[in-house]
Amino acid sequence: MKITVMLGGASAERDVSLASGARVVAALRANGHAVTPLDPAMGVLSETAFTDLVHDAMKREPPTLAELRRFEKSPLSPILTTLPAVREADVVFLALHGGQGEDGTLQAMLDAAQVRYTGSGHLASALAMDKDLSKTLFRSAGVTTADWLMAPATAEQVSDALSWPVIVKPSKQGSTVGLHKVNGPEELTAAVADAFLYDDEVMIERFIPGRELTVGILGDDALPVGEIIPQHELYDYECKYTAGMAREEFPAKLTSSQRSMVQAQARRAFRALKLAGYARIDFRMMDDGTFYCLEANTLPGMTELSLIPQAAAASGISFPALCERIVQLALQTKGGKS
Ligand SMILES: Nc1ncnc2c1ncn2[C@@H]1O[C@H](COP(=O)(O)OP(=O)(O)O)[C@@H](O)[C@H]1O
Ligand SMILES: [Mg+2]
């Protein structure tokens, strides 16, 4: 098959995407496909450009806002779907994370151009990217999620509705960028101001102490539940992308009823947002065994340290087989996706 892998882009998760994309390109080539790597910020990549770009892509910190602004200015975005590498592909594999590659914008462009692509459609992608709307839909579908308010909110409103500590985060970001644990009213203003640097909507959420769990959904299957044990209190950027900064356990040590409960919640969250193909749903579990759904990730990481590849491996699915299955799921979609 002719497969174009999109990687890079102009979001804060650009480097993560380069690392994901590098592996996806290699896996699909090993599966025998004719693969073209394409960075929406730079265009089709020659083999040398691709190798240079993905070499040592992951840094300890995300790219600076100034660096990202440069990529955002790419004149390519409006004409992306007119490129032969996109129009003539049997399927476009989206190895992008965050920004317009994950929030439904690119998905809508590909739909308009009648190009098949992996993962969720434009509406589902947009819903999952927006944590405020996701949580509203989770609640109405019976998926438990922590109480929250949208900024601006006074310290008094936060005390009344949520109590301290709280988590302040951009509503439409990923990779724990711009996210803060706020222990008391005096820290609120600075945390909200920082989160607003990354998004025009900021959420203030009840802090859920406890364990960090994640469930991958692949087609109709819930993959083995994973537990993440980060070195820091929160699963932050450094813990997510630096080897040795977090330990992952697949399968997580849970009772069988806890396991089926969290997998059922993950499936329900997947349906609530009308997701397609594959996704990863994140949870916190309190000591009393209650689960709180944090969010759904429609284009979850595919790096060496990423969770979906580890979850797949725990159920005997190799990385190339995982990529192949994601492609097959994209080809099976009939009549468009949400
Ligand atoms: N309400 C919360 N209570 C406790 N920890 C949280 C909460 N919200 C986020 N976190 C921590 O921050 C991490 C990232 O938050 P998440 O909502 O998943 O956003 P992102 O899209 O950045 O991954 C989580 O994995 C968790 O460690
Ligand atoms: Mg998350």
Is 186 in the same domain as 216?
no
- CATH code, 104: 3.40.50.20
If one counts the domains in the chain, the total is: 3
Residue 337 inside a domain? The answer is no
Q: Which domain holds residue 6?
A: 2-117
Q: What is the CATH number of the domain that holds 186?
A: 3.30.1490.20
Ligand 1 atom having least distance to the Cα of 207: 3
Cβ-contact 45, 38 below 8 angstroms: yes
**Reported pTM:** 0.94
Report if residue 122 sits inside a domain: no
Whether the predicted pLDDT of 231 surpasses 70: yes
Question: Which atom in ligand 1 lies closest to the alpha carbon of residue 173?
Answer: 21
Residue 335: inside a domain: no
The reported pLDDT for the residue numbered 12 is 82
| Beta pairing partners, 92 | 4, 117
Instruction: Assess whether 68 and 175 both reside in one domain.
Output: no
Task: Please check whether residues 64 and 179 belong to one and the same domain.
Answer: no
Task: Determine the distance separating the centroid of ligand 1 and the alpha carbon of 235, expressed in angstroms.
Answer: 7
Q: What is the pLDDT of residue 41?
A: 93
Model confidence pLDDT, tens digit, residues 160-201: 999 899 999 999 887 788 899 999 999 999 999 999 998 899
pLDDT score, position 73:
75
304-318 residue pLDDT tens = 889 999 999 999 999
Do 314 and 215 sit in the same domain of this protein?
yes
Which candidate, 334, 333, 335, places its Cα nearest to that of 119?
333
- Of 168, 190, 206, which one is at a domain's C-terminal end? 206
Q: How far is the CA of 113 from the centre of ligand 2 (A)?
A: 31
Which residues are part of the catalytic machinery?
Answer: 13, 175, 241, 280, 282, 295, 297, 301
pLDDT at 335: 57
State how far the Cα of 179 lies from the Cα of 107, in Å rounded to an integer. 26
The verdict on 282 and 193 lying in the same domain is no
> Tens of pLDDT along 2-21?
999 999 999 888 999 999 99
The minimum-distance atom of ligand 1 relative to the CA of 240 is: 25
Would 325 be classed as within a structural domain? no
| Nearest-10 Cα torsion for 220, 96, 234, 198 | -130
Residue whose Cα lies nearest atom 11 of ligand 1: it is: 234
- Cis amide linkage into residue 251, ω under 30° from 0: yes
